[in-house]
Amino acid sequence: MSTAPTVLAFSGGLDTSFCVPWLIERGHHVVTVHVDTGGLAPGESEAIKNRALELGASEHITADAGPALWDSFVKPFVMGGEKYQQRYPLLCSDRYVIVEELVKIAQSLGATAVAHGCTAMGNDQFRFDQSLRSVCDLPVLAPIRDIQSEAEALRPYEMDYLKARGFDVPDHYKKYTINENLLGTTISGSEIDEFGAPGEDTYRMCQPRSQWPEAPAQCTIEFQSGIPVALNGQAIAGPDMLAQLNQTFGAYGVGRGIYTGNTIVGLKGRIVFECPGIEALLVAHRGLEELTLTKAQASFKQDAARQWTDLVFGGFFHEPLRHDLEAFLVSNQKNVTGTVTLETHGGTCEPVAIDTPHALVADDAVYAQKASWSADDAAGFIKIHGNASALAAKQVMA
Tens of pLDDT, residue by residue over 33-57, are 999 998 888 899 999 999 999 999 9
Torsion angle of alpha carbons 196, 201, 204, 208, nearest 10°?
80
Query: Which residue, 357, 297, 291, 358, is CA-closest to 328?
Result: 297
Helix axis angle, 375-385 relative to 387-397, nearest 10°? 50
Q: CATH topology for 5-174?
A: Rossmann fold (3.40.50)
User: DSSP letter at 366?
Assistant: B
Looking at residue 364, its pLDDT comes to: 66
Q: CATH topology for 181-293+335-355?
A: Argininosuccinate synthetase, chain A, domain 2 (3.90.1260)
CA distance 185 to 135: 27
Q: Alpha helices of 151-262 — where are they, by DSSP H?
A: 154-164, 190-193, 238-250
Looking at residue 254, its pLDDT comes to: 98
Mean pLDDT of 198-227: 96
Query: Which residue, 353, 179, 352, 344, is CA-closest to 250?
Result: 344
Assess whether pLDDT exceeds 70 at residue 343. Answer: yes
Q: Which residues pair with 7 in a beta bridge?
A: 31, 114
For residue 161, is it left (φ>0), alpha (ψ between -120 and 50) or beta? alpha
Torsion angle of alpha carbons 258, 262, 268, 274, nearest 10°?
-20
More confident residue, 234 or 190: 234
CA distance 104 to 101: 5
Assess whether pLDDT exceeds 80 at residue 260. Answer: yes
At a CB cut-off of 8 Å and minimum separation 6, what does 67 contact?
237, 238, 239
Mean pLDDT of 17-31: 97
More confident residue, 151 or 164: 164
Read off the pTM.
Answer: 0.91
Looking at residue 151, its pLDDT comes to: 82
pLDDT-derived band at 1, boundaries 50, 70, 90: very low
Go through 224-263 and write b for each residue having 16 or more CB atoms within 10 A of its CB, e for each that does not: eebbbeebeeeebebbebbbbbbebbbbbbbbbeebeeee
Looking at residue 173, its pLDDT comes to: 65
Looking at residue 267, its pLDDT comes to: 85
Asked whether the beta carbons of 129 and 140 are under 8 A apart, the reply is yes
Beta strands 184-188 and 268-274 are: antiparallel
DSSP percent split of the chain into helix, strand, coil, nearest 5: 45, 20, 30
Helix axis angle, 94-109 relative to 124-135, nearest 10°? 40
Q: What percent of the chain has pLDDT over 70?
A: 97
pLDDT-derived band at 121, boundaries 50, 70, 90: confident
Mean pLDDT of 288-302: 97
Beta strands 348-355 and 227-231 are: unpaired
| DSSP calls for 245-280 | HHHHHHTTTTTEEEEEEE-TTS-EEEEEEE-HHHHH
At a CB cut-off of 8 Å and minimum separation 6, what does 365 contact?
371, 372, 373
Mean pLDDT of the chain: 93
CA distance 230 to 113: 42
